[in-house]
Amino acid sequence: MGRLSRRTTGSTRSGVSRIRRPAITSPTPKAQPSAKGTPVVIAIMGLTGAGKSNFIKAVTGHDPGTSDSLTSSSQGVIEIPYLDPFRKLNFLFIDTPGFDPTNNDDFKVLQQIARWLREKYRGGLKLSGILYLHRITDNRMPRSSVENLNLFEDICGSEAFSIVGLVTTHWDEANRFDSLEECNKREAELSNSFWKLLIERGSKMHRFDNTSLAAWNIINSLSFEKKPLQIQKQMVDEDMPLEATTAGRRVLSWIWVLVSALKAWLNRARAALASRRSSETSMLNDNASSMASPTSVGTGLEQLSPMAPDFLPTRPQPL
Ligand SMILES: Nc1nc2c(ncn2[C@@H]2O[C@H](COP(=O)(O)OP(=O)(O)OP(=O)(O)O)[C@@H](O)[C@H]2O)c(=O)[nH]1
Ligand SMILES: [Mg+2]
């Protein structure tokens, strides 16, 4: 198993940080013949870069905005309607923005997804399937990925796990970056540990090799049973604000961990500076021609860098 994940660098999600309302858009793909009945609604979720938009492109032929950039590209929730011309079955695919371990906009991303889910549930529309995507070529399961998975479970609630499809993407590249054997091993580890709970409660695992055929096989393996998600029941049936929902509380707890880590680091930095200052003052007192210069106090800050806080996207766990 290799050591580095390919998508762990980058800055912020460009242009998203100032958006207050969720962008709920319905780009109109090529004109589709109409079909009756409520659509089969399938949401695609997962970390940024997992291949959500690309998967929808493989299913519908319409690109909701795939990206090669290292930071999240899809902004807001995007609805892509599609009519299956053979079965005359109406689908509505939902491309969601990905959680991004390289920035701290997780609550905003959750807000966008939660608002969309709440409004649709209020309007009587339930999901018939959710696909959770994960790159099989990722050779580590960083803590942020595990936390994202926990959040996904909180959004769904265990009663909805049976409409979840767990999709590993990039199988077409399995032999390019790693051996097929390693990818098989990772898949087994996902199924035996990280995805175990979901699988025990009815979720199914699938492979996606970047073909339309594989994408449709995955869609057709879903039961299409309509189920409300935990976050929808909590926000609509129980009238909870997002912050009070299970998913909302989890994201807020991450923020508190981050704030506490920052506070602890600042305290350590202050203490180190104070002790350096006091030792330099005593050196100056001891010897009027002390070598200590005012700038050496400033450079003390550089020595603090090894004490920098251990932020969330660190310490990958082996996969
Ligand atoms: N070869 C190959 N490339 C893929 C696959 N899935 C996604 N990609 C590529 O990976 C890149 C990222 O995919 P996206 O679909 O934009 O990822 P996303 O999950 O929508 O990312 P965000 O919108 O940032 O959350 C794009 O260049 C895709 O073409 C796959 O199964 N095989
Ligand atoms: Mg996308």
CA of 173 to the centre of ligand 1 (A): 12
Instruction: Indicate which ligand has the atom closest to the C-alpha of 69.
Output: 1
CA of 231 to the centre of ligand 1 (A): 27
Q: Nearest Cα to 43, choosing from 95, 117, 83, 7?
A: 95
pLDDT digits (tens, 9 = 90+) for 71-80: 556 578 999 9
By percentage, how much of the chain surpasses pLDDT 90?
51
Q: Which tokens sit at 63? A: 């690109």
Q: Give dist(CA 202, CA 174) in Å, integer.
A: 27
Residue 68 has pLDDT above 50, yes or no: yes
CA of 97 to the centre of ligand 1 (A): 12
First to last CA, the chain: 8
Give the three-state DSSP class for 109. helix
Q: What is the pLDDT of residue 256?
A: 76
User: Residue 317: phi, psi to the nearest 5?
Assistant: -100, 140
Q: Which tokens sit at 167? A: 């999709």
For 150, other C-beta atoms within 10 Å of its C-beta total: 14
User: Contact 97/14 with Cβ under 8 angstroms?
Assistant: no
Q: Which tokens sit at 263? A: 């506070």
Q: What is the pLDDT of residue 309?
A: 45
Quote the DSSP letter at residue 244.
Answer: G
- Mean pLDDT value across residues 174-189: 88
pLDDT digits (tens, 9 = 90+) for 117-151: 999 999 999 999 999 999 999 888 888 889 899 99
Cβ–ligand 1 distance for 51 under 6 Å, the answer yes
DSSP string, 35-55: --S--EEEEEEEBTTSSHHHH
Residue 17 has pLDDT above 70, yes or no: no
pLDDT digits (tens, 9 = 90+) for 244-270: 999 999 998 887 777 888 888 888 999
For 124, other C-beta atoms within 10 Å of its C-beta total: 7
Cβ–ligand 1 distance for 227 under 6 Å, the answer no
Which residue's alpha carbon is nearest to atom 32 within ligand 1? 170
CA of 3 to the centre of ligand 1 (A): 21
Q: What is the number of the ligand 1 atom nearest to the C-alpha of 54?
A: 15
Q: Give dist(CA 287, CA 291) in Å, integer.
A: 9
- Which of 66, 80, 112, 170 to mutate to test ligand 1, by most ligand atoms within 8 A of the CB atom? 66
Give the three-state DSSP class for 21. coil
CA angle 16, 18, 21 (to 5 degrees): 85
Q: Give dist(CA 224, CA 208) in Å, integer.
A: 19
Among left, alpha and beta (phi > 0; psi -120 to 50; other), residue 54 is alpha
- Which are the contacts of 34, defined by CB distance < 8 A and separation ≥ 6? 83, 90
> Cα-Cα-Cα-Cα dihedral of 50, 106, 75, 213, to 10°?
20
pTM: 0.76
114, containing H or E segment: helix 106-122
Q: Give dist(CA 188, CA 122) in Å, integer.
A: 39
- Which of 12, 67, 70 to mutate to test ligand 1, by most ligand atoms within 8 A of the CB atom? 67
Side chain identity at 222, as an amino acid letter? L
